[in-house]
Amino acid sequence: MALSTEEVLSGLAELVNDETGIATDTIALDKSFTDDLDIDSISMMTIVVNAEEKFDVKIPDEDVANLKTVGDAVNYIVKAAG
């Protein structure tokens, strides 16, 4: 099922907020998970695992390292769900 960038961003922002407490409105496409949002590797993996279930996609571990920004993750999920 095709998902829009907006849908994925807002869904992903909820998952990030749920895991870290970071306010959803600060979670924008250009934010780096590590440098801007200070998300550690365990939280990142938790978000990835939850995103797989929420968006019904697969995000292999070797691809997670390439998801530097929120935008990277949103684009990846939009593509994978397409």
Partner 1 sequence: MFSLMAHQKIVVTGIGAFTPLGVNATDTWNNLLAGKSGARTIEKDYVAELDLPVTFAAQVVQNPDEILERVEVKRLDPSSQYALIAGREAFADAGSPTVDPGRLAVDWATGIGGIWTLVNAWEDLRQKGPRRVMPMTVPMLMPNGPAAAVGMDLHARAGIRTVVSACASSTESIVNAVEHLRAGYADVIIAGGSEAAVHPLPLASFAAMQALSKRNDDPTRASRPYDVDRDGFVLGEGAAALVLETEEHALARGARIYAEVIGGAVTSDAYHITAPDPEGSAAARAMKTAIEIGGAALTDVVHINAHATSTPVGDIAEYNALKRVFGDHLKNIAVTATKGATGHLLGGAGAIEALFTVMALHTRTVPPTINLDNQDPEIVLDVVTSPRQLPEGSLVAISNSFGFGGHNAVAAFRSYP
User: Which residues are known to be catalytic?
Assistant: 40
- Give the residue with the Cβ less far from partner 1, 18 or 35: 18
- Give the residue with the Cβ less far from partner 1, 7 or 52: 52
19 binds partner 1 per the rule CB under 8 A: yes
**Is the distance from CB of 69 to CB of 33 less than 8 angstroms?**
yes
Per-residue mark of binding to partner 1, 21-60 (x: CB under 8 A) = x--------------------xx-xx--x--xx-------
Structure tokens at 3: 């998902």
* Nearest one of 48, 59, 54, 21 to 37, comparing CA atoms: 21
